[in-house]
Each structure stands twice: as structure tokens, then as C-alpha cells.
Amino acid sequence: MILSPTVLLLSLPLALAQYGGGSPAASPTTSSTSAPASTTAPSVSIQTVTVGENNQLVFNPDTITAAVGSEVEFIFFPPSHSVVQAAFDAPCQPIGNNGFYSGAFTTSSGSNANSFTITINDTNPIWIFCGFPGHCEAGLVGVINPNASQTLSLFKAAAAKVSSTTDPTFAPQGGVIGPVQAAVSASPSSSVSATPKPGSASEIKGSTLWAGLLATVVTAWGIAELMA
Ligand SMILES: *[C@@H]1O[C@H](CO)[C@@H](O)[C@H](O)[C@H]1NC(C)=O
Ligand SMILES: *[C@@H]1O[C@H](CO)[C@@H](O)[C@H](O)[C@H]1NC(C)=O
Ligand SMILES: [Cu+2]
């Protein structure tokens, strides 16, 4: 891709704004400036959420703020849990046939060797619950990117009042099931960086997102320095 310096510089603020970067020095892309973006596997930000750890019927954390392009990985504990996407005004039932669903993860001890990872495509609130009978009503609900009018406490209160939880009738979809990527011992609210397995769906998506950004930012910095 060959673009004029003007185009690259004009696109820099947009790229930075889109990825939450303020100054270039604070941008997550600094880790990749030592090598050309085109040959570097992009690092995707992953946040870990445990499901049912210590026999507690909670997602931990149950409120997640996640940037577009980042990933949220769900790690499952005994005995059996799932992650299902719901609508804000209809907790404990699938949002429709296109929402994500992890499938049921049954685990005897420790955490399941596999996890379910979703990619955040936009900043709209994403509502989640466990499809195991009774768990949603009991509080196994959560939210990614809540806002002022759609809060977890409202969703949780509504979930407590449903007559039953509806488990999806369709197969797992909308995320990647694979070996756990993040260390479970890490603080659940902390963010870790992991390089997805080559060829995985998340890697392909991450590559597309990051390659364009890195090419733009790295090149623009270079030009800016030359011109300074
Ligand atoms: C919260 O998100 C919902 C869904 O995107 C939206 O309809 C609503 O206007 C948002 N509320 C605020 C205060 O941003
Ligand atoms: C993001 O988009 C992909 C591809 O359409 C989809 O599989 C995934 O479920 C979406 N993520 C969320 C959180 O909806
Ligand atoms: Cu559950």
C-alpha cells in the first residue's frame, strides 16, 4: 500500500481516536515499532472473565469495558456453565439466533482447559448470562460496555424476576472455542496480551484490524520525525 505522506498524516488522528490512543507514546502500538508492522504478528488485548469460580454464580468481573478490536475470554469453572448473549430488556434468554453462545462447558475441577473468546466489534452494551437453569436468575449475568441508561444493576434486577432461563437451541457460535489463552491466576480485571494461534479466527480478524492501524501510525510517525 503506497499512500502519500499527507494522506497518512491526515488519517493519523482518526486512527488514534479509534483505538483510544492519546499521544503516540501512550499508544499500545509502541510495542511494535521495533519491527515492520507487515512482518509482526499483532498483539490483541484480551480481558479474562471467570465463570462460576469458587462455586459463586457470578462472572468475575461482571462489568467489563472493552475496546473495539479487543477480546474477552471466558474461562469456565465447575460444574457447568455457558455464556449467552441477551438483550438488555430480555435477560436470561438468547438475544436471537445471531447472538453469541459458548455452548455448555462442563468441568469437574479447576478451570476448563478450553475457553470461549469473543471479539468486540463496537461499543454498544453487550449483555451476557449463563444458560444453565437457574444461574441467570441467581445473578450469573454481566455486561460489556454498559452506559448511563443501561446498567448492570437494572439488568440483574430484571434477571432475578424472570420465571426461567432459556438456553439456546442452536450450536455454539459467535466466538472462538480453544485452549485457555490467559493465565487464570491473573487478576480477572487485568488486561493481558496474547498472540493468537496462527490461523485462528481471532488472529485473522486481529491481523486485519491491526495491520492497517500499525502501517498507518508507524509510517506517520516516521514521516513526522523526518519533517521535524
Ligand atoms: C445505551 O446503549 C443503548 C444501546 O446501544 C442505547 O440505545 C442508549 O441510547 C444508550 N444510552 C446512553 C445514555 O448512552
Ligand atoms: C463480532 O463479529 C463477529 C463476526 O461477525 C461475530 O462472530 C462476533 O460474535 C461478534 N462479536 C460480538 C461480541 O458480537
Ligand atoms: Cu452457570
Segments making up each domain of the chain, as ranges: 46-179
Mean pLDDT to the nearest integer, 182-209: 44
Give the pLDDT band (50/70/90) at residue 29.
very low
- CB distance 105 to 76 below 8 Å: yes
DSSP class of 198: T
Q: What's the mean pLDDT when you consider all of the chain?
A: 75
**Residue range 126-164, pLDDT digits in tens:** 999 999 999 999 999 999 999 999 999 999 999 999 999
For domain 46-179, say whether CATH 2.40.160.60 is its number: no
Cα–Cα distance for residue pair 127/225, rounded to 1 Å:
44
Cα–Cα distance for residue pair 8/217, rounded to 1 Å:
8
- Coil, strand or helix at 87: strand
Cα–Cα distance for residue pair 166/52, rounded to 1 Å:
18
- pLDDT tops 90 at residue 223: no
- CB distance 175 to 117 below 8 Å: yes
Q: How far is the CA of 131 from the centre of ligand 3 (A)?
A: 6
Q: What is the pLDDT of residue 7?
A: 40
Q: What is the pLDDT of residue 43?
A: 78
- pLDDT tops 50 at residue 112: yes
β-pair partners for 51:
59, 76
Residue predicted with more confidence, 51 or 4: 51
Residue 100 CA: which ligand 2 atom is closest?
9
**pTM, full prediction:** 0.68
Question: What are the CA-CA distances from residue 71 to residues 24, 115, 135, 144 (Å)?
Answer: 22, 12, 24, 11
Q: What is the pLDDT of residue 182?
A: 79
Q: How far is the CA of 195 from the centre of ligand 3 (A)?
A: 28
Cα–Cα distance for residue pair 102/114, rounded to 1 Å:
11
Mean pLDDT to the nearest integer, 45-57: 97
Q: Name the phi and psi angles at 41, rounded to 5.
A: -65, 125
**Ligand 1, atom 14: nearest CA belongs to which residue?**
147
The continuous run of DSSP H or E covering 212 comes out as helix 201-227
- pLDDT tops 90 at residue 47: yes
- CB distance 130 to 52 below 8 Å: yes
Give the pLDDT band (50/70/90) at residue 41.
low
- pLDDT tops 50 at residue 101: yes
Residue predicted with more confidence, 226 or 96: 96
β-pair partners for 191:
47
Residue 207, ligand 1, Cβ within 6 A: no
| Count of C-beta atoms within a 10 Å radius of residue 183 | 12
Among 156, 146, 83, 165, CA closest to 118:
83
For residue 94 the three cell numbers come to 438468547
Q: Which of 98-107, 176-185, 204-213 has the highest mean pLDDT?
A: 98-107
